[in-house]
């Protein structure tokens, strides 16, 4: 049996925040993403895709942003916890495919580091994890540099 899941997340940019994406820190970025946790939108989108594929709800139900426990939380750890819940249902993860849309910082040069970080968190080989980076072409909130948006699709298999 195959199960597919998709996830979507968006966070605003804010000054004086660490920019973390897929568990990778970009020290050159002067601004980070705003949020209760570390605001790693890519991890959040993949977390929602995994939970969605298994029909286990969403990230907000499992890790509420009203819970002080998750203030500043490391989202790659939350992704791992969500994957553990899904794996406990007997699923294996075939692949992850994600797209990140933002103007800055430049994501493309560090895509392989991000893939490696996600693959380690999910117990996958790097060739099972795809991350693409694109820009908003000056249009919409991503194009104006106001936010970063991440989309993810995952495929689960149960034999
Ligand atoms: Mg989020």
What pLDDT does 18 receive?
96
Q: Is the pLDDT of residue 63 over 90?
A: yes
The CA 43 to ligand 1 mean position distance, Å, reads 8
CA of 71 to the centre of ligand 1 (A): 12
Contact 121, 80 (CB under 8 A): yes
Between the CA of 159 and the centroid of ligand 1 the distance, in Å, is 31
Average pLDDT on 53-72 reads: 92
Q: How many CA atoms lie within 13 A of 84 on its CB side?
A: 8
Residue 65 has pLDDT above 90, yes or no: no
**Locus of tokens 């992850």:** 96
Q: Note the pLDDT of residue 84.
A: 98
Residue 32 burial (C-beta neighbours within 10 Å; 0-12, 13-18, 19+):
buried
For residue 149, the CA-to-ligand 1 centroid distance in Å is 9
Residue 25 Cα to ligand 1 middle (Å): 16
Average pLDDT over residues 72-78: 94
Interval 16-43: pLDDT, tens: 999 999 999 999 999 999 999 999 999 9
Distance 139 CA to ligand 1 centre (A): 22
Structure tokens at 135: 């820009």
């Amino acid at each position: 049996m195959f199960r597919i899941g998709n996830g979507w997340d968006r966070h605003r940019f804010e000054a004086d925040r660490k920019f973390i994406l897929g568990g990778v820190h970009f020290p050159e970025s002067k601004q980070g993403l705003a949020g209760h946790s570390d605001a790693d939108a890519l991890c959040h989108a993949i977390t929602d895709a995994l939970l969605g594929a298994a029909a286990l709800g969403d990230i907000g139900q499992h890790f509420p942003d009203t819970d002080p426990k998750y203030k500043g939380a490391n989202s790659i750890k939350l992704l791992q916890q969500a994957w553990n819940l899904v794996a406990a249902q007997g699923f294996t993860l075939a692949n992850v495919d994600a797209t990140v849309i933002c103007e800055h910082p430049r994501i493309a040069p560090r895509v392989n580091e991000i893939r490696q970080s996600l693959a380690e968190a999910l117990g996958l080989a790097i060739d099972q994890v795809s991350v693409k980076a694109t820009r908003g072409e000056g249009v919409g909130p991503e194009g104006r540099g106001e936010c970063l948006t991440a989309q993810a699709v995952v495929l689960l298999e149960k034999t």
